[in-house]
Amino acid sequence: MKENVLSGSSSPLVSIVVSTYNGEKYLEEQLQSLIEQDYANLEIIVSDDFSSDNTWEILEKWRHNYPDLIRIFRNEANVGWSRNFGNGIAYTKGEYIAWCDQDDRWMSDKISVMVDAFQKYPDATLIYHDAYEFKGQDEIILKKNEQFYWGMFEGSDPVSLFWHCRILGHRMMFPAKLKEYILPPIDFSYDWWIQVLAVSIGRIYYVDKKLVAQRQHGNNATGVKDPNMKDGAMTNRLEHFKSFQRFGEYMERDEKSILDRLTTIMEHHIHGKFDWSLFFFAFRYRYRLFNFLEGGNIITREIFRWRLARSWAKNW
pLDDT of 138 over the 90 cut: no
CA angle 163, 153, 208 (to 5 degrees): 145
Same domain? 26 vs 172: yes
Is there a domain that residue 222 lies in?
yes
Is there a domain that residue 6 lies in?
no
Last residue within a domain, chosen from 204, 228, 252: 228
Q: What gap in Å lies between CA 313 and CA 305, rounded to an integer? A: 12
Same domain? 179 vs 262: no
Same domain? 266 vs 282: yes
Is there a domain that residue 191 lies in?
yes
Last residue within a domain, chosen from 193, 228, 263: 228
Is there a domain that residue 24 lies in?
yes
- Of the candidate ranges 84-88, 230-234, 309-313, the one whose mean pLDDT is the lowest: 230-234
pLDDT > 70: percent of the chain: 87
What pLDDT, on the 0 to 100 scale, is given for residue 169? Answer: 93
Same domain? 158 vs 25: yes
Same domain? 154 vs 170: yes
pLDDT of 88 over the 70 cut: yes
Same domain? 83 vs 201: yes
Q: Whole-prediction pTM value? A: 0.89
pLDDT of 147 over the 70 cut: no
Same domain? 136 vs 244: no
Same domain? 175 vs 279: no
Last residue within a domain, chosen from 180, 196, 228: 228
Same domain? 76 vs 149: yes
Are 125 and 199 in contact by the 8 Å Cβ rule? The answer is yes
Are 16 and 100 in contact by the 8 Å Cβ rule? The answer is yes
Is there a domain that residue 37 lies in?
yes
Same domain? 33 vs 166: yes
Higher pLDDT, 136 or 182: 182
Is there a domain that residue 9 lies in?
no
For residues 207-219, average pLDDT: 85
pLDDT of 121 over the 60 cut: yes
Same domain? 216 vs 267: no
For residues 256-269, average pLDDT: 95
How many other C-beta atoms lie within 10 A of the C-beta of residue 142? Answer: 8
Q: What gap in Å lies between CA 153 and CA 163, rounded to an integer? A: 14
pLDDT in tens, 36-73: 999 999 999 999 999 999 999 999 999 999 999 999 99
Print the domain residue range for 296. 233-315
Number of domains making up the chain = 2
Q: CATH code at 55? A: 3.90.550.10
pLDDT of 231 over the 60 cut: no
What pLDDT, on the 0 to 100 scale, is given for residue 230? Answer: 47
What pLDDT, on the 0 to 100 scale, is given for residue 146? Answer: 61
How many other C-beta atoms lie within 10 A of the C-beta of residue 185? Answer: 19
